């Protein structure tokens, strides 16, 4: 009978290294997908919510927030968050022209293929 392979053998070290590399690659892939589809937990629930946003550059954007019954325009960039202007008259946001988020896309995909809605 053959003794079991030592965990310190070249094959064992290679297997552990390969497994670790796959786990790290999976973490990076999931984080890229979350950034790509702009998935953010708890977005728009309660008295504060994001009504619309506009990307000025890849790292800077302008966001229209709803705070209670008021609307506030803010700028988000590498230097932080800057309040641009509280709006005296609210802007009507047309939901039909907005890009759907990940949850909306997934719901549409599952509904189209007969999956659970």
**Tell me: the pLDDT tens digits for 7-53?**
678 888 899 999 999 999 999 999 888 877 766 555 545 788 888 88
- What pLDDT is attached to residue 17? 93
Residue 73 neighbours by CB distance under 10 Å: 16
Q: What is the pLDDT of residue 110?
A: 79
Could you tell me which residues are beta bridge partners of residue 37? none
Instruction: Give the pLDDT of residue 27.
Output: 94
How would you classify the pairing of strands 70-77 and 48-57?
unpaired
Inter-residue contact 41 to 50 (CB < 8 Å): no
How much is the CA Rg of the chain, to the nearest whole Å? 23
pLDDT digits (tens, 9 = 90+) for 74-111: 899 888 888 888 887 777 776 555 666 677 777 777 77
Place of tokens 């990940």: 102
Confidence class for position 117, pLDDT limits 50, 70, 90: very low
CA angle 66, 47, 34 (to 5 degrees): 75
The structure's pTM equals: 0.44
Contacts of 60-65 spanning 24+ positions with Cβ under 8 A: 64/91, 64/93
pLDDT at 45: 58
The 10 Å Cβ neighbour count of residue 64 is 19
């Amino acid at each position: 009978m053959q003794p079991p392979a030592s965990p310190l053998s070249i094959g064992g070290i290679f297997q552990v290294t390969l497994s670790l590399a796959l786990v790290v690659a999976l973490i990076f892939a999931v984080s890229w997908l979350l950034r790509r589809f702009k998935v953010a937990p708890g977005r728009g629930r309660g008295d504060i919510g994001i009504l619309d946003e506009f990307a000025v550059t890849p790292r800077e954007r302008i966001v229209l927030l709803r705070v209670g019954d008021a609307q506030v325009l803010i700028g988000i960039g590498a230097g932080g968050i800057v309040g641009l202007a509280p709006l005296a008259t609210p802007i009507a946001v047309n939901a039909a022209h907005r890009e759907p988020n990940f949850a909306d896309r997934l719901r549409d995909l599952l509904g189209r293929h007969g999956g659970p809605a």
